[in-house]
Amino acid sequence: MKFLTLILRSLFRSKRRTILTVLSLAVSVFLIALLQSLLGTMDSLTTSTASGMRFVVQDKASFTNVIPQSYANYLRQQPEIEQFTAFQWFGGEYKDPKNFFANFAVDPETYLQVYREEANLPSIPPSQVRDFIRDGNACCVGKTLADKYGWKLGDVVPLRSSIFNITLRLNIRIIFKGQRNSDEMFLAFNIKQLQEAVPWMKGRVGAFTVRAKNPSDIPRLCDRIDRHFANSAQETLSITENAFNLNMIKMLGDFSTMVHSISGAVLVAILIVTANTMAMAIRERTTQISTMRAIGFSSGQILSLLMAEGLLLSLMGSGLGIALAMCAASLAANVAGQLLPWMADFIITGETLLLCVLLTLGLGLLSTFIPAYRASRRPITEGLRAL
């Protein structure tokens, strides 16, 4: 600790350069933290424990195509299936196109059973469940979504879909509290409303979500179902729910490669910025370093002091960048989560914070060591020539 004052004075010998370097490092750490957290949030969609119990039966050509509802008859005959539900993306808007959120048409009698973890079924009063099933115009919504628009039980929600060119008036019968914020950012209503209002949807559904009794049965079930409908007018593709979610994400592009590429470029930028700053700072103090050695400082002490400067500089940039990233993540979860439900769970995890700190400190050591080592080994007479 007795050398801390010396380290701080040396580090802020050029305040402008130090501040600009810290800001550059902060921006780099900010980007890495956000990008890695975004990637982790997207990966969590494909690694859900509950999703591991389910798989999706969709049209083989594209999940945007509808399939016959009569396919449910075959699914009921499979002993490995615990329950299944039909669903169809509705794409409705509430009053204004800006008020967009995820909304689906589902089978109310089976939906809550298949998604009991996400809907936290045990916490829903039985009376609300009965109302949701019996009321043909009923819908259930997550608490976060209900709080956003000020909805309460019994309210009527007008929902207009440009896909089907209809407007439905839905009665809120369930407001559930999910396990995650993203679980509460959608609305589900009775699929019969859609089938009755849209002629070409009669006897059709978007897909089936199937819950197996045992996860180990899913591969065998998927193969059996697809072989059964192989020669039908509309063949099926059965995939795990995690894989289905992954396919949805891939429509946005190869995010993983893009994020890792950007992160790599940012790390190189951190290395260059820190190395350049420390090299300039050490080069300007050649005479000072030689004087310190002349009055008794050893080469090891000089090296340690210079390395400490580089580490402190990196730590300051890392701390500021992490603070900015956490503020941005909170804002993104509140704003972007309204449009993309999975973004409601966007946070900077402890693992990401630790990764950013370790990477920054590691690069700080790497970028400082070479100029610091050379300066600590330079002959004293060479550095004192300027005196």
Residue 381 has pLDDT above 70, yes or no: no
Using the CB atoms, write b or e for 160-169: b if 16+ within 10 Å: bbeebeeebe
**Beta-strand relationship, 138-142 and 204-205:** unpaired
Residue 211 has pLDDT above 90, yes or no: yes
Q: Which residue has the tokens 């009669």?
A: 202
Residue 259 has pLDDT above 90, yes or no: no
Confidence of residue 96 (pLDDT cuts 50, 70, 90): confident
CA distance 23 to 319: 11
Confidence of residue 171 (pLDDT cuts 50, 70, 90): very high
Residue 293 has pLDDT above 80, yes or no: no
CA distance 84 to 226: 16
Beta bridge partners of 106: 87, 190
The crossing angle, in degrees rounded to 10, of helices 299-335 and 350-377 is: 150
C-alpha 189: how far from chain center:
27
Q: What confidence score (pLDDT) does residue 160 get?
A: 92
Residue 252 has pLDDT above 60, yes or no: no
pTM confidence score = 0.63
In this structure, how many other beta carbons lie within 10 angstroms of the beta carbon of residue 357?
Answer: 17
User: Across all residues in the chain, what is the average pLDDT?
Assistant: 81
- Torsion sign over Cα 76, 77, 83, 85: negative
Residue 222 has pLDDT above 90, yes or no: yes
Are 205 and 69 spatial neighbours (Cβ–Cβ below 8 Å)?
Answer: yes
Order of strands, sheet of 102-106, starting from the edge strand that comes earlier in the sequence = 92-93, 156-161, 166-176, 138-142, 186-190, 102-106, 81-89, 207-212, 54-59, 236-240
The crossing angle, in degrees rounded to 10, of helices 255-284 and 299-335 is: 140
Q: What confidence score (pLDDT) does residue 225 get?
A: 95
Confidence of residue 49 (pLDDT cuts 50, 70, 90): low
Of 81 and 249, more confident: 81
Closest C-alpha to 103, from 57, 167, 41: 167
Among 159-168, 234-243, 292-301, 359-368, top mean pLDDT goes to 159-168
Q: What confidence score (pLDDT) does residue 306 get?
A: 77
The angle subtended at Cα 239 by Cα 342 and Cα 49, nearest 5°, is 50
CA distance 373 to 286: 12
Least confident residue range of 76-90, 94-108, 131-145, 161-175: 94-108
In this structure, how many other beta carbons lie within 10 angstroms of the beta carbon of residue 386?
Answer: 8
Phi, psi angle pair for 93, to nearest 5°: -120, 140
Beta bridge partners of 103: 187
Q: Which residues contact 174 (CB under 8 A, 6 or more apart)?
A: 119, 124, 128, 129, 131, 132, 138, 139, 140, 141, 153
Phi, psi angle pair for 323, to nearest 5°: -60, -45
| DSSP notation for 76-125 | HT-TTEEEEEEEEE--EESSSTT-B-EEEEE-HHHHHHHTHHHHTGGGS-
Q: What confidence score (pLDDT) does residue 338 get?
A: 54
Closest C-alpha to 103, from 161, 41, 152, 176: 161
Question: Domains of the chain: which residue ranges?
Answer: 4-45+254-386, 66-233
Closest C-alpha to 346, from 328, 361, 364: 328
Closest C-alpha to 184, from 148, 141, 241, 140: 141
Q: What confidence score (pLDDT) does residue 243 get?
A: 75
**Beta-strand relationship, 138-142 and 166-176:** parallel
Distance of CA 215 to CAs 116, 321, 342, Å? 16, 42, 24
